[in-house]
């Protein structure tokens, strides 16, 4: 079953653009190099408020574990950009992208 990872970041004051750039780079890298990464999306509220949502779709838990265990994988860089972070990991019960996998 596909797994969705939904992450809400709140940027530190003055760090929104840097956070967005870094998340773009990280997302593009995952899409190119992580087998089992089906989708990475970045979204921001229509009324900007310093939040960025990262929506990930993974083939299965094994794909997430491969991603987590890659040499050099770390989220330590985030401490310089974020005030808060909320993460929800969910079983995806319906998704057009998930049915293509």
Cα four-point dihedral sign 57, 72, 9, 22: negative
pLDDT at 76: 93
List the 37-43 sheet strands across, edge first.
37-43, 51-58, 3-11, 82-91
pLDDT at 94: 87
User: How do the domains of the chain map onto residue ranges?
Assistant: 3-100
Mean pLDDT, the chain cut into blocks of 10 residues (101 residues total): 96 97 95 94 96 97 93 90 97 72 44
pLDDT at 67: 93
Task: Pick left, alpha or beta for residue 50 (phi over 0 → left; psi -120 to 50 → alpha; otherwise beta).
Answer: left
pTM (two decimals): 0.88
pLDDT at 95: 79
Would you say 10 and 82 are in contact if contact means Cβ atoms under 8 Å apart? yes
pLDDT at 100: 47
**Class of the 3-100 domain?**
alpha beta
pLDDT at 73: 82
């Amino acid at each position: 079953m596909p797994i969705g990872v939904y992450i809400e970041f709140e940027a530190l004051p003055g760090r929104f653009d840097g956070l967005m750039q870094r998340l773009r780079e990280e997302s593009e890298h995952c899409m190119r190099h992580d087998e089992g990464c089906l989708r990475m999306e970045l979204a921001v509220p229509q009324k900007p408020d310093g939040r960025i949502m990262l929506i990930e779709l993974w083939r299965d838990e094994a794909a997430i574990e491969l991603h987590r265990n890659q040499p050099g994988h770390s989220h330590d860089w985030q401490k310089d950009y974020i005030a808060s972070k909320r993460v929800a990991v969910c079983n995806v019960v319906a998704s057009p992208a998930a049915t293509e996998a």
